[in-house]
Amino acid sequence: MSQEKLRADIQMIQRILPHRYPFLLVDKVEEIDGTSSAVGYKNVTMNEPHFQGHFPGTPIMPGVTIVEAMAQTAGVMVGVALEQMDKEMLIYFMSIDKCKFRRKVVPGDVLRMDLKTVRGKPGGKVWRFSGVATVEGEMAAEAEFMAMLDLPKEDA
């Protein structure tokens, strides 16, 4: 039996993630396949605060924010799959491995983030994900990372 793939617009993302401007780094998430995989998008714009200093005259999205955007995509995927809307779920980085940067990401780019769950299951606290971020089909970054989900206690 095939399950319809889900999506999350910015309003849904804000109901799942605690992040807000200037640190909300994913604009929409599509192709959510349960807790298995998802595709996130970040529209990179010149008005983001990190471009004031990274680097003046040659704005480049910091690599750590690319990895954070991938992690937020994973958080939305799990949040949608586990129905965590409006439940104040928190997610904490535990590790970042096999991280490589392949291309600059600059204002005007649309960053596409393909995420897969390597390890994790509903009810589990520790999850491992792999992600690849691309711009127009060209790899910008890749990483594996672990995160701990701090799910709110259900009301008894």
Residue 71 buriedness (CB in 10 A; 0-12 / 13-18 / 19+): buried
Catalytic: 54?
Answer: yes
Tell me how crowded residue 40 is: count the other CB atoms within 10 A of its CB: 30
Residue for token pair 């940067």: 101
**Residue 26 CA: distances (Å) to CA of 15, 56, 76, 82, 102:** 13, 24, 9, 19, 20
28, 50, 54, 128: the active-site residue? 54
Q: Which residues are catalytic?
A: 54
